[in-house]
Structure 1
Amino acid sequence: MKFLFLVFLLGSTVAFAQKKTVPVIQTQAIKVDSLLWDLKALSKAPAVEWLSQTGTVHSLLYRSVDYQGKPTQVFAYYSNPDLIRGKATGKRQFPGVVLLHGGGGKAFREWVEKWAADGYAAIAMDFGGKGPDGQRLAQAGPDQGADEKFYHLEKAALNDMWTYHAVSSGILAHSLLLSRPEVDVTKTAVTGISWGGYLTCLVASLDNRFKAAAPVYGCGYYDESDVFKEMISKLSAGSARKWMKFFDPSTYLPYAQPRFLFVNGNTDRFYNVVPYHKTYSLVPASQRTICLIPDMAHGHEAGWVPHEIRYFFESVLNEGVPLVQVSPVSVQDSTLRFSYQSPVSVLTAEFYYSNDTTSPNEHRVWSKQKATIDPKTQTITSPLPKEGFQYGFFALKDHRNVAVSSSFVFK
Structure 2
Amino acid sequence: MAGWTRRVFAGAAALALIAFAPAAAQAQIRIGAVLSVTGPASFLGDPSKKTLEIYVEQINAAGGVNGQRLQLIVYDDGGDANQARTFATRLIEDDKIVAMVGGSTTGTTMAMIPLFEEARIPFISLAGAIQIIDPVRSYVFKTPHTDRMACEKIFEDLKRRNLTTVAMISGTDGFGASMHEQCLAVAPRYGITVGHVERYGPRDSDMTPQLTNIRNKAGVQAVVNAGFGQGPAIVTRNYRQLQVPHPLYQSHGVASKQFIDLAGDAANGVRLPASALLVASVLPDSDPQKQVVLNYARTFEQKTGQPVSTFGGHAYDGLMILVDSIKRAGSIDPRKIRDAIEGTRGFMGTAGVVNMSPTDHMGLDLTAFRMLEIRNRDWTIVPAGGS
Q: What TM-score, normalized by structure 1, do the two folds share?
A: 0.35
Tell me which protein shows more helix as a share of its residues.
2
Which protein is richer in strand relative to its size?
1
Higher-Rg structure is 1
TM-score (norm 2): 0.37
Structure with greater contact order relative to length (CA < 8 Å, sep ≥ 6) = 2
